[in-house]
Structure 1
Amino acid sequence: MSNTFKSIPILIGTCLTLASCATASFSKYKGVGRIKQYEIRSGQVPDSFDGFRIAFASDFHYESRFDSKRLEGGVRALQATDADILLLGGDYRGREGGDMEELFTALARVKTPYGTYAVMGNHEQGESDSLVRRAMAHTGVRLLEHQTDTLRKGNEYILLCGIRNPFDLKRNGISPTLSLRAEDFVVMLVHTPDYVEDTDVSNTDLALAGHTHGGQISLFKRWTPAHFSKYGNRFLTGLKHNSQGIPIIITNGLGTSRKDIRLFTPSEVVLVILRRK
């Protein structure tokens, strides 16, 4: 099935709360099924960050279904978001391998005022971990592993927190957001949405995650036979909330694993626009 579509805007979501809304358009970029856009409104967003644009991509699994023939389309889709910052959510290398220098050199063409930040996924192990770290270092990607960085505009700022191996809760089960101030606007970047439910992530205002692939095959946009999350389909895709009410945006990602197929779960890049409420 082709991942190339005409660029026809369609509404695929409604305002889920008074503070958030999601829309998507079919993508004209080969290898990207859609560009999904969210608006997140919060009184904690500083005035100077009203309209701040976050591009988010995850689960490349390069080369899987997302291969060298589709890489150019992925880059162009990310460029088209006209983002202020690019965030990468992990799982960069496919099970059969993939040239990480090629992937990250291509992603480096997505120029944003605040650069590119990333976390690792569960596929970054052994040789893959080393290759990804090396490619990130060569291309200027800032890897956040249980670290927080400050994004400034004049005297105002928001905080970006990245989580190290969210599957190892014995080592990483204490969220770095606990040491942050409740009044600051904090974006958490984490590979799996389960982490946002497994741990106390207080002071987080928005979490961005991947890992689920939207199930790759889904029925009625709600159910999938795949089990990428221990919470079943609760955090399958889209804008969800953990038990604390913290919003989590979960992307379908770009690549595939296990089976090289997608059905009713288009590959996607995400654009998040922050608005002051």
Structure 2
Amino acid sequence: MRWLIPIFLYVLLEVYAFQVVKTMTKNLWLQIGYFVLSLLILGYVIYIFANYDRSVGPTKYTLRASGLLLLTIVPKLILVLFMFGEDIIRVCIAGYTYLTNTFFEGTATEYLPDRRKFISQIALGVAAIPFAGLLHGIFRGKYNFKVIRHVLHFDDLPAAFDGFRITQISDIHSGSFDDAAKIEYAVDLINEQESDLLLFTGDIVNTVAEEMDDWIDTFKRIKNPKYGKYSVLGNHDYGEYVTWNSQEEKEANFNAIKDIHNKIDFNLLLNDSAFVEKDGERIAVIGVENWGHNFKKAGDLTKASKKVAQEDFKVLLSHDPSHWEHEVKKHTDHYHLTLSGHTHGFQFGIEIPGFIRWSPVQYVYKQWAGMYDEMGRYLNVNRGFGFHAFPGRVGIWPEITVIELRKKTQLS
């Protein structure tokens, strides 16, 4: 029964889409070609997901299938909106014609007018926009790396750290990569920032440690800044989206994932902290395990901060931004800057600085991409380095964040 509604909606989608094709061309072979192509794509998607192996988890095949599904469904949804809207108008015209002919003229006519070709043309033109956007996102957008820069001012920043630069990356999702040259380019881009400190905020894989085997040497090329590289875990790093033969196998995978951080020269913080010292002053880098309002809650902020004094300047690494919203931002210990990721900005949206900023993920996460400031406490939600579930990015590009800390003065 749970499949009846999706099947009905998909059939409705195809019926309307096929009506557009029939309106646009009377060529029987083109109509048959469209029908066969739709069946082949649907069959491929059903085959891939029907044979999904939870002991393996997401693969490049499931990514490809989800991409094909969106490429076909999203444009057809646009067609349905136009065609359904036209049907409402046609029904109204039919009702008016029926009433006027029957009661005032006494004549019999065809009450339901034919579909208008120009409506189908407009619908196809509008549907081509998301189709082109999705195609671009799959083939180019997912590796369209952007460096996003922020300058933050603090009253209580230790003077020695005025001008201190932090690079943040997040959500590598190495199991999704399919272009080594693009990843090499991104690593070079990280190195070009020449920041003082490099921080990674979780999700190094999709599900299993082996996903990073081919990428260890690539990520090991990330230069070790003067003040080090620190990292935390994300929800995907716990192996909870795959079925294991035993608890021991799951724990072995988890240990292997933690070991990846050491292999690429990151200091993994597991509910722990470290101090960065410069010219006799210090700031604290605090890393919690994953804490999500709707995901795994392994993070322990109290434990992670036990070595940190209340007056210390604090940079907190916490993968899921809901942690900041529900626990961190009002904490009495005053966490100055929190760095998160997790949302990917949904890998789909519209961002035009100063004009519009929208993504479906904003209806789930209050803080979903970029820098947020409340009560003098900052949260940066990195849009992610890699991609997951959908093999592309549309309007929300992969991000390398560079944050410069500044000592606030009377003039700043």
Tell me by how many angstroms 1:115 deviates.
Answer: 1.9
* CA distance in structure 2 between the aligned counterparts of 1:67 and 1:88, rounded to whole angstroms: 21
Q: Report which structure shows greater RCO (CA 8 Å, sep ≥6).
A: 1
Secondary structure in structure 1 of the residue aligned to 2:160: helix
Task: Name the one with the larger strand percent.
Answer: 1
Q: TM-score, normalised by structure 1?
A: 0.79
* Equivalent residue in structure 2 for 1:138, among 249, 255, 263: 263
CA contact (8 A) 1:188 1:207 kept: yes
Q: TM-score, normalised by structure 2?
A: 0.55
1:214 alignment partner in structure 2 = 345
* CA distance in structure 1 between the aligned counterparts of 2:357 and 2:156, rounded to whole angstroms: 31
* CA distance in structure 1 between the aligned counterparts of 2:214 and 2:378, rounded to whole angstroms: 33
Higher gyration radius (CA) = 2
Tell me by how many angstroms 1:175 deviates.
Answer: 6.5
TM-superposition CA deviations, 1:183-223 (whole Å, max 9, x none) = 32100011111111222443200000000101211145533
CA contact (8 A) 2:273 2:307 kept: no
2:401 alignment partner in structure 1 = 270
Instruction: Determine if the alignment matches structure 1 residue 232 to structure 2 residue 356.
Output: no
Secondary structure in structure 2 of the residue aligned to 1:40: strand
Instruction: Determine if the alignment matches structure 1 residue 196 to structure 2 residue 324.
Output: yes
CA contact (8 A) 2:291 2:298 kept: no
Q: Give the 4+ runs in structure 1 shifted more than 6 A.
A: none
* CA distance in structure 2 between the aligned counterparts of 1:170 and 1:136, rounded to whole angstroms: 18
* CA distance in structure 2 between the aligned counterparts of 1:226 and 1:198, rounded to whole angstroms: 17
The 3 A distance-change label for structure 1 pair 237 and 130 is same
Unaligned residue ranges in structure 1 (runs of 5+)? 5-29
Secondary structure in structure 2 of the residue aligned to 1:87: strand
> Among the aligned pairs, what percent are the same residue?
27
* Equivalent residue in structure 1 for 2:228, among 115, 120, 130: 115
Secondary structure in structure 1 of the residue aligned to 2:291: coil
Secondary structure in structure 1 of the residue aligned to 2:395: coil
The 3 A distance-change label for structure 1 pair 139 and 133 is same
Instruction: Determine if the alignment matches structure 1 residue 160 to structure 2 residue 285.
Output: yes
CA contact (8 A) 1:174 1:199 kept: no
1:20 alignment partner in structure 2 = none
Instruction: Determine if the alignment matches structure 1 residue 43 to structure 2 residue 174.
Output: no
* Equivalent residue in structure 2 for 1:129, among 254, 258, 261: 254
Tell me by how many angstroms 1:97 deviates.
Answer: 7.3
What is the count of residue pairs matched by the alignment? 248
* CA distance in structure 1 between the aligned counterparts of 2:178 and 2:377, rounded to whole angstroms: 31
Q: Which amino acid in 2 is paired with 1:215? A: F
CA contact (8 A) 1:145 1:163 kept: yes
1:53 alignment partner in structure 2 = 165
* CA distance in structure 1 between the aligned counterparts of 2:160 and 2:178, rounded to whole angstroms: 36
1:11 alignment partner in structure 2 = none
CA contact (8 A) 2:361 2:368 kept: no
Unaligned residue ranges in structure 2 (runs of 5+)? 1-135, 240-249
Tell me by how many angstroms 1:76 deviates.
Answer: 0.6
Q: Which amino acid in 1 is paired with 2:334? A: N
1:105 alignment partner in structure 2 = 217
TM-superposition CA deviations, 1:36-84 (whole Å, max 9, x none) = 0111111221121111111110111113257433220121110011111
* Equivalent residue in structure 2 for 1:84, among 184, 196, 208: 196
Task: Name the one with the larger helix percent.
Answer: 2
Q: Which amino acid in 2 is paired with 1:106? A: T
